[in-house]
Structure 1
Amino acid sequence: MSKLVSDANAVTWDEKSFDPPLLEAGNAALRWLGPVISLGIFGAVLYQLRGLQIGGVAAMLPRSPLFWLAFAAYYLAAPLFDLLIFRRLWHLPFVAGLGALTRKFVGNEILMGYIGEVHFYSWARSRLKMVAAPFGAVKDVAILSAVMGNVVTLAVLAAAYPFLHVLHLGVAPRTLVAAVVITLGSSLVLLLARGRVLTLGERDLAFVAAAQLGRVVVTALLPALLWHLALPQVAIGWWILLAAVRLLLSRLPLLPNKDFAFAAVAVLLIGRSVAIGDLMAMMATLILATHLIVGAALVLAEFAFPQQAAE
């Protein structure tokens, strides 16, 4: 099959980047994919609203403008890094692209992992003038996101290894070794087989990997700044250490009760006198509330102004 080249605003691709038959343009299922996922996001928003306790959280929220700037940066980091990537790959329009990528982020967070990629794929696939076969690029970006997350996690583990006995993670050494082997093995397999698995050219892959590495580092460190701004009596160095532990626990497989383990480490390092539990509950609720507000607004805008959302 010969190589095909789209217009100047699209990408060059070969047979590896063609969409799977189920996802080809004109497929009846594809036409309903985006709206169905959008309705799923809206349904998840309504469901999550039942247990949201806004009053208690509002009383704990910091009043510092710096906190809210840091929170906005943390929340928008993933969509903005994705926008940076897809503007290079597809010359993605800024406003419409940011809206679609934010829907992707919210879908992953409040529905299930990678459902956002499916929604974003559906959005891009319906815009053939922008890119002819988006499946390969969406797939490659998702794979490199996972690989870079694993790389940073392993780097954090290597740096923290001498101190693991002090942290009392509650994890058996055998379980930790198995988790590391699985994490390292999956990333190595993907990198070694990149010629068969990945679609983009080497330069684009290097750019995507660098952007995903930046995203992982930024989203790992910004929570430490948020925690410090909320509880300034605790030195930010402790929060950075806890952010590294949080990243480590969140990425490694085979580790049960990750949130409990993280809370236990936080109390162990900083002490029970500090309102760590209240802080973590406040941050979790704030993030969920933001997901609900942003998700509902984007889905309603998508249905109310379909033409504007498509441009």
Structure 2
Amino acid sequence: MAPSTALVEPEPLTSWASLKNRLRDERDWMFRGQRRLSWRLESSLERALPNGAERPKAEQSLRFRFGQVVANYLPAGQIPQHRFDWLATMQHHGTPTRLLDFTRSPYVAAYFAIEDASADEPCAIWAISESWCRAQADRVLLAANLSGEPYPTYSWLYRAKELNKASLVAPAGPMQLSTRQIAQQALFAVPGDVSLPFEENLRAMLEPKEDIGQHVKCYQIDGSTRGEVLRDLRLMNISRASLYPGLDGFAQSLRYELVDEDVGRWAVRAAVRGNSDLSF
């Protein structure tokens, strides 16, 4: 995969403290954690089918096959009724879709970035301005006569017969949120033209001479901070147990409780805080 710098230049943040200070000031952004800085912003469908010409037909086929069996597993009240909710449900259960998972919490994104990060390879938190993304998606849809007022993006997602007629990225959440989506403060980034890469859909919304760096950011995290970050996030109640409600999430969280920063690094932070007791 091409390096993430193909879209924007990453901002290196060498410590967890500097990352928290940086993210604390971010308002009205949506975030995505990725455990490798080198990974681009790509949907699971894009990764599965690099040839964009194959994706529209494949998406229809996956939707049909998922719809054939979903009634065997979900109660009637949870079966999707609209095109976008079908995609959201498929994504939730692991089917490749055009959707990219985002969260409104930078700390949840930090967890997903760092939980399985390698100590010798940086990971990343991506951030996209939600208000800019929605406003530009609305503009593109209205200019192409693909939707109408007062809520162009909503109308496009829930009423349009075809989602592949415009190059854009729209932020959106499903009509019914699962307990997992509530816990993760989740939403999706929805590319308009599934045959194009996600990043190309994103660039297509830029005005002439507009710098994408004003609306898209990438924060580079040192993988060696993994233990410290996971420890602090546990204290914020951000873990597998809280983000994936249920016994499976709790069981998986126990594995990460075995991860901790080395004693030397902890001692330095404790000394800075004026606390030299290493017994807890």
TM-score by length of 2: 0.29
Higher helix fraction: Structure 1 or Structure 2? 1
TM-score by length of 1: 0.27
Higher strand fraction: Structure 1 or Structure 2? 2
